[in-house]
Structure 1
Amino acid sequence: LSRTVKQQTPKGKIARKQFLVCVGNGNGLIGYGSSTDSDSRLALTKARTKAIQNMDYVSLYEQRTIWTELSTKLGATRIIMRPRPVGFGLRCNPFIHQILRATGFKDVSAKVWGSRNKLNVVKAVFRMLQAGHAPTGMGDGVGGKGIKLSKGVGMRGMEELERARGRKLIGLRK
């Protein structure tokens, strides 16, 4: 993602290039970096370096999708990402598609509401994916309570889970 930013001074406008770069290995490592400079090549190099320094591991469910439905709001941008069954593909905003492909996801859908500002979309997706220290529904990690989704209900069976998730489950025992 690149754009020209201009600073207004008493002597006139000073144009500079801003780059936001996303890097990934296609197997769970992903990072992004942003940089601004008057020389576009230098700005791109700085952004790529920052992206590599900010790389973090994202856990993939069955090596193809996200573990659970994720949602976030950043500014006026609201995003929901959902896990999908095998063969569904990546059906989402073009910027989210590039991030998910660089991470290694294959079956995810996402919807963006409100502002579709490119920078906010990218930052919100990274906030969702790299929230490994505070997984959804597991408390805040410092004594805050987790979510009780099915209080008073017994353990659900495999068939019921498959129907609810829309995909076959793979057994861990052989």
Structure 2
Amino acid sequence: MRVQDGFEEKVIQIKRVSKKTKGGNKIGFTALAVVGDKAGKVGTGMSKALDVTTAIAKALSKARRNVVSVNINENTVPHEVLESFGASTVKIMPAPRGSGIIAGGAVRDVLALCGVKDVSAKMLGSNNKNGAVMCTINALKKMEKK
């Protein structure tokens, strides 16, 4: 994780993709990145490029432009929420103080970067990283103040 402009950066996924052309295969890369300030702001970005470093830089730039504010209530989320994106579904639940982040994969990274310290989450359906990140961000946007 890198810190820049007050935001911590985390690359969630890098994929090698190819396009079939008349002259053969054209190779490219896709990057999925998340940024957060650990104080209630988190954003995600996905981008494609011909090389890995450019794809990551573009994804981080998009993530900084897509930052959303998250309601954090005493180091946890204010209430339980269930959110879907495509075939992925995430259930985020508040947890008692000292529990830590009980979540797996990409969901854990998003929750950590937004600053939630005690939370429990469960991925249902597809565990696709892009779907998991989008589900989690949408669920955090839906959180209301208690």
Range of TM-score over shorter length = 0.7 to 0.9
1:10 aligns with 2:22: yes
Where does residue 47 of structure 1 map in the other structure?
59
- Post-superposition shift, 1:110? 0.7
Aligned partner of 2:113 among 102, 107, 112? 102
Where does residue 155 of structure 1 map in the other structure?
none
- Report the secondary structure of 1:130's partner residue: helix
- Report the secondary structure of 2:116's partner residue: coil
Runs of 4+ in structure 1 off by over 4 angstroms are none
- Post-superposition shift, 1:11? 2.1
1: distance between equivalents of 2:94 and 2:110?
Answer: 15
Where does residue 118 of structure 1 map in the other structure?
129
Deviations 1:35-93 (A, max 9, x none): 1000221111111111111112111011x111110101222212111001101111111
User: Higher RCO, 1 or 2 (CA under 8 Å, sep at least 6)?
Assistant: 2
With normalisation by structure 1, the TM-score equals: 0.72
1: distance between equivalents of 2:41 and 2:86?
Answer: 26
1:70 aligns with 2:81: yes
1: distance between equivalents of 2:124 and 2:71?
Answer: 25
- Post-superposition shift, 1:18? 0.6
2: distance between equivalents of 1:122 and 1:56?
Answer: 13
1:93 aligns with 2:88: no
Larger Rg: 1
2: distance between equivalents of 1:75 and 1:55?
Answer: 21
With normalisation by structure 2, the TM-score equals: 0.85
Aligned length: 133
Structure 2 counterpart of 1:121, one-letter code: A
- Post-superposition shift, 1:131? 3.2
Where does residue 43 of structure 2 map in the other structure?
31
Q: Give % identity.
A: 31
Which ranges of structure 2 fall in alignment gaps of 5 or more residues? Answer: 1-12
Deviations 1:92-132 (A, max 9, x none): 11211111111110111111111111111111111111236
